[in-house]
């Protein structure tokens, strides 16, 4: 199993659609989980952290299932501006001993008018 594996995509959806991205991770000791967004030819930027209890930020909802080692991102009411690549990111360490984030390869989303 790859360290961080995402839906390969690409996803093409109409405006207003709901779209879900899935991600699995292999290291059960992983401590922190995130979704980053990367626009075409731009740098990645943090979209949201993922907490065990699930968390929501406007139209975006992130879920974590530690037992299944599974992370999800749900986007409701898609906008044209949501078109980007979404990166699933995992940090194995809780702070002092592990500095490294592991990035999934990303899933490309295109929202069409």
Partner 1 sequence: NAGVTQTPKFQVLKTGQSMTLQCAQDMNHNSMYWYRQDPGMGLRLIYYSASEGTTDKGEVPNGYNVSRLNKREFSLRLESAAPSQTSVYFCASSDIGFGGGTQYFGPGTRLLVL
Binding site for partner 1 (CB under 8 A): 32-34, 42-46, 49, 87, 89, 91, 93, 95-101, 103-106
**Angular region, 111: left φ>0, alpha ψ -120 to 50, beta rest:** beta
Shortest distance, position 18 Cβ to partner 1, whole Å: 25
Comparison of 60 and 103: residue with beta carbon closer to partner 1: 103
* Nearest distance, CB of residue 24 and partner 1, angstroms: 15
- Which C-beta is closer to partner 1: that of 8 or that of 16? 8
Choose between 17 and 108: whose C-beta lies nearer to partner 1.
Answer: 108
CB of residue 64 to partner 1, shortest distance in Å: 13
Residue closer to partner 1 (CB basis): 24 or 106:
106
Residues contacting residue 35 through CB under 8 Å, at least 6 positions apart: 21, 46, 47, 48, 50, 60, 62, 71, 73, 86, 87, 88, 89
Burial of residue 94 (number of CB atoms within 10 Å: 0-12, 13-18, 19+): exposed
């Amino acid at each position: 199993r790859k360290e961080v594996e995402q839906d390969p995509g690409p996803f093409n959806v109409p405006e207003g659609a709901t779209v879900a991205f899935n991600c699995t991770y292999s290291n059960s000791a992983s401590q922190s989980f995130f979704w980053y967004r990367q626009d075409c030819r731009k740098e990645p930027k943090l979209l949201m952290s993922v907490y065990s209890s699930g968390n929501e930020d406007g139209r975006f909802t992130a879920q974590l299932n530690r037992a299944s080692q599974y992370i999800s991102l749900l986007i409701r009411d898609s906008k044209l501006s949501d078109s980007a690549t979404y990166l699933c990111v995992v940090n194995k360490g809780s702070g002092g001993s592990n500095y490294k984030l592991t990035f999934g390869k990303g899933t490309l989303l295109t929202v069409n008018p």
